[in-house]
Amino acid sequence: MQPVQFQLLSSQVAQHQAAMYLADYLRSTVSQQQTLLLLSGGSAVNMYAELFTILTERHHQLEGVTVSLVDERFVHTGHADSNATQLEHSGVLKMIQTLGGTWIPYLQDDQESGAEVADRVSALFSQWQSTHQILFLAGLGDDAHTAGLLPTSDNLIIKNVYLTEQPIAYYQLPADVENPYRHRLTITPHFLAHAHTVIVYATGAKKAAALRRLVAGNEPISSCPALALRASQQPVIVLTDQSIAS
């Protein structure tokens, strides 16, 4: 299990500082080899918009960079709840393509089942495991969830999502998980172990308890899914404005 390293942000300008940190990090890494860059959704979307604006202003090209998601809600293509749709509306997808990056969405054909989407994206990610460096820009929920991995004690979900060797899993949330988005596509712990670098963006007082759990590392990942991030090949970097970082 990799250690956790903190980069402390100012709560007043946390989003800007995180975007600047990531812009500098990407500038120094993605030009060196082919890269699979995976983005989260939710509260990170506005920060990504600032990040890719900075990259655009610096004329930093993204040739050789393939960009996709760490998770997606299984909804119709273009649905407002889709992480990809939120990135599109923020201008992120256009900037990625303008900079020469390749965007790979999960949702491409409304005729595909969730399992078919998982199989298709898994095949792509498996192919890139040996040819690309893999960078995860992850989020962290108040309940210590990350990506589409939510805490559960459901044995079937633990088997089919937490223990599968497929990069992407599709599943319906079990009864013990309260979340409005019931059908999920998510990166699995197995694929997280292939990540070269994981950078977590987690701001606000509500994230402090989850960060402590991430550092403690004394729970099964099915109850603290964020611990799956610590299977990466390098220490996990956390960008946060919380005092646990001090």
pLDDT tens for the chain, 246 residues: list them: 999 999 999 999 999 999 999 999 999 898 778 999 999 998 899 999 999 999 999 999 999 999 999 999 999 999 999 999 999 999 999 999 999 999 999 999 999 999 999 999 999 999 999 999 999 999 999 999 999 999 999 999 999 999 999 999 999 999 999 999 999 999 999 999 999 999 999 999 999 999 999 999 999 999 999 999 999 999 999 999 998 744
Angle, helix 14-29 to helix 45-57, in steps of 10 degrees: 50
Q: SS3 sequence, 18-52? A: HHHHHHHHHHHHCCCCCEEEEECCHHHHHHHHHHH
Q: Are strands 35-39 and 4-8 parallel, antiparallel or unpaired?
A: unpaired
Burial (0-12, 13-18, 19+ Cβ within 10 Å), 127: exposed
Residue 33 is predicted with a pLDDT of: 86
Specify the pLDDT at position 30: 87
Look at the alpha carbons of 222, 139, 193, 6 in this order and tell me if their dihedral is positive or negative. Answer: negative
What are the phi and psi torsion angles at 54 (to 5°)? -60, -45
Both structure tokens of 197: 């670098």
Q: What is the pTM of this model?
A: 0.96
Domain edges within the chain = 4-245
Contact 115, 184 (CB under 8 A): no
In the prediction, which pLDDT does 42 show? 87
Checking DSSP bridges between strand 168-172 and strand 65-69, what pairing results, if any?
Answer: unpaired
Q: Does CATH place domain 4-245 in 3.40.50.1360?
A: yes
